[in-house]
Amino acid sequence: MRQLFIIDPVGSINPSKDSSAALMQAAERASIEVWICTPSDLQARGNRACVIAKPVIADPWITIKEAQSKYLSDFTCIWMRKDPPVDEAYLYATHLLEVAERDGVLVLNKPASLRAWNEKLGAIRFSQLMAPTLVASRVEELKSFASEFGEVVIKPLGGKGGQGVIRIGKEANSLEALLELVTEQERLPVMMQVFLASVEQGDKRILLINGDPLGAVNRRPKKGDFRSNLALGGIPEATEINQREKEICEELAPLLKSEGLFFVGIDVIGGMLSEINVTSPTGIREVERLMKIPLADQVIARLVESLN
């Protein structure tokens, strides 16, 4: 078996923290050939999708061998693990990956779903599981929502890792000017949600494989911040998946499976769904370290089972 991982430049990857590195090493332990490329290495020749890819030895990190030209159909499975932003280059890569899908290659996650599931907007399909939420670009609508609920957070729809998320208090000054700024003068919509004070106890990242929750890590905000993202200094803690969170996963599972979202990370704050992360979910290393669960090996085992 041969698997291709489409990732950011390998020099930017910290193997002690990176979920892609964890998956690559687990694949190698399962006697699977591991190859890497970046989105810019994807090509199409006629009606065949191709790639300039490099075989690697992932453990210990990392031995990279000479690049070779391959058809994407030479791979049993392709992992699309490029981090956001979901820009033009990312979207075109998903189109090229769909050519491989037509040749029978399994692409994770499904390219069409990567385009359709904005990681903020995707969650509102399950708005009944979320805190009150508004997506809008009109300043007056956003002001009215903030006035109604008192304390809110604003999230840019294209953001990642908590970047650009703003907390607005009940006595916020210059709110209109701020909303003009974040919407680029009402040109771009943003997400506004009721602030959940329970985030002080943590924002739980739950990792789902084909709809099944396999592990979780609690992320507590660092002192002086409300954002719990690990990339912004959030503190990871051991945790368990409680009954409410299992119910959330059960409600999400049928749609995730039907849309080819094999590896997903959801964020839950105080029993409420916050986001559904589908591009390159993180958290494997933290779950493995804190919960003593061989999560990456379990993911690869589930994948191999699904292919047989």
Q: Are 133 and 192 in contact (CB under 8 A)?
A: yes
CA 11 and chain centroid, separation: 20
- Please state, as a whole number, how many other Cβ atoms lie within 10 Å of the Cβ of residue 218: 20
Query: Is 267 designated active site?
Result: yes
Q: Measure the CA–CA gap between 149 and 156, rounded to whole angstroms.
A: 19
- Active-site residue among 81, 110, 160, 205? 205
- Active-site residue among 70, 81, 82, 120? 120
Query: Is 308 designated active site?
Result: no
- Active-site residue among 210, 227, 229, 245? 227
Q: Measure the CA–CA gap between 225 and 197, rounded to whole angstroms.
A: 12
Sequence-ordered alpha helix ranges (H) in the chain: 19-29, 88-102, 111-116, 139-149, 175-182, 243-258, 284-291, 295-307
CA 51 and chain centroid, separation: 24
**CB-neighbour burial class of residue 302 (10 A; exposed 0-12, middle 13-18, buried 19+):** middle
Q: Cα torsion at 278, 245, 259, 125 (round to 10°)? A: -90
Query: Is 155 designated active site?
Result: yes
- Active-site residue among 41, 275, 286, 288? 275
Nearest residue to 263 via CA among 68, 26, 15: 26
Query: Is 219 designated active site?
Result: yes
Helices then strands (H, E): number in the chain?
A: 8, 17
- Active-site residue among 41, 267, 286, 288? 267
Residues 6+ apart with CB under 8 A from 294: 26, 288
- Active-site residue among 155, 160, 204, 285? 155
Q: Measure the CA–CA gap between 284 and 269, rounded to whole angstroms.
A: 19
- Active-site residue among 277, 285, 286, 288? 277
Query: Is 125 designated active site?
Result: no
Query: Is 242 designated active site?
Result: no
- Active-site residue among 70, 160, 219, 285? 219
- Largest Cα–Cα distance of the chain, in whole Å? 60
Q: Would you name the residues annotated as active-site residues?
A: 120, 155, 205, 219, 227, 267, 275, 277
